[in-house]
Structure 1
Amino acid sequence: MSVLLVALGAAVGAPLRYLIDRAVQARHGTVFPWGTFTVNLVASALLGALLALPVPGWVTALAGTGLCGALSTYSTFAYETVRLAGTGSRLPAVLNLAASVAGGLGAFGLGAMIARVLGA
């Protein structure tokens, strides 16, 4: 049953990631990968909120592993960072690396904090 819930969540998360990425990136004329950065922060915040709440295991499988797992994308983040560095955009590459790691951790913590405050 859990495998089906994960697949269902991923079936929503992956297309959502693509649509958000394209919508955000289309609004920026820079080499910085704003779309990937945005989806990773959103997924981190959602996962933080989800894990801070007392939810059943099936919700964690559906929304945490499935939706958030497919919404976020470490492989694209890694590819875009290496691509930036390889094309001479070293500062944006370093900024992407630092902002994505710090931002993801911060978004997770913020999501958890908001969920605790609203859930109390």
Structure 2
Amino acid sequence: MMAIAPAYLVGLGGALGAVLRHWVYAHLKREGDPVPRATLTVNVLGSIVLGFVTFSGAGGDVALFVGTGACGAFTTFSSFGFETVDRWSSGEKRAAVLNAGGNLVLSLGGVAVGWLVAGFVV
């Protein structure tokens, strides 16, 4: 059996994560949302998956492909940061705080959900 180099695993996972993220944005992004639902969705879903993969004990190739590659490309801290600062600087302070708090609490909650599911499955 031929092993796939770690960089290729991360790259293939990243390609998958980027395509999935684009799909979510194409279906959920709406201008004027106080809390950008597409960014929140990818961050929470990615946190659930990463929590599951990590706490299920998956390591090696699976962790590289799913965790570093797919989840790394699927989730986005930069868009979250930009959208939060953009709302704050345009005077939408309540929306900025909701966005920051929502992403933090729900993404951490997503990791906890992944952890709990891994505990039941493994």
Q: With the length of structure 1 as denominator, give the TM-score of the two structures.
A: 0.92
| Moved beyond 3 Å, runs of 4+ | none
Aligned mates of 1:63, 1:8 — CA distance in 2 = 9
For the aligned residue pairs, the C-alpha RMSD in angstroms reads 1.4
Match of 2:67 in 1: 64
Match of 1:75 among 57, 73, 78: 78
Q: CA deviation at 1:30?
A: 2.5
Alignment partner of 1:110 is 2:113? yes
1:18-97 equivalent positions in 2, closer than 5 A:
18-26=22-30, 30-97=33-100
Which of 49-58 and 61-70 deviates more?
49-58
Q: Distance in 1 between matches of 2:53 and 2:72?
A: 13
Q: Distance in 2 between matches of 1:32 and 1:95?
A: 7
Name 1:4's counterpart in structure 2.
8
Report the alpha carbon displacement of residue 116 of structure 1 after superposing the two structures with TM: 1.3
Q: Structure 1 stretches of 5 or more lacking a match?
A: none
Identity %: 35
Residue type at the aligned position of 1:100: N
Deviation at 1:24, TM superposition (A): 1.5
1:89-108 Cα distance to aligned partner (Å, 9 max, x none) = 11010010011011111100
Which residues of structure 2 form unaligned runs of 5+?
none
Structure 1 residue identity aligned to 2:18: A
- Displacement of 1:56 in angstroms is 3.7
Corresponding residue pairs, total: 118
Tell whether 2:21 aligns with 1:17: yes
Q: TM-score with structure 2 length normalisation?
A: 0.90
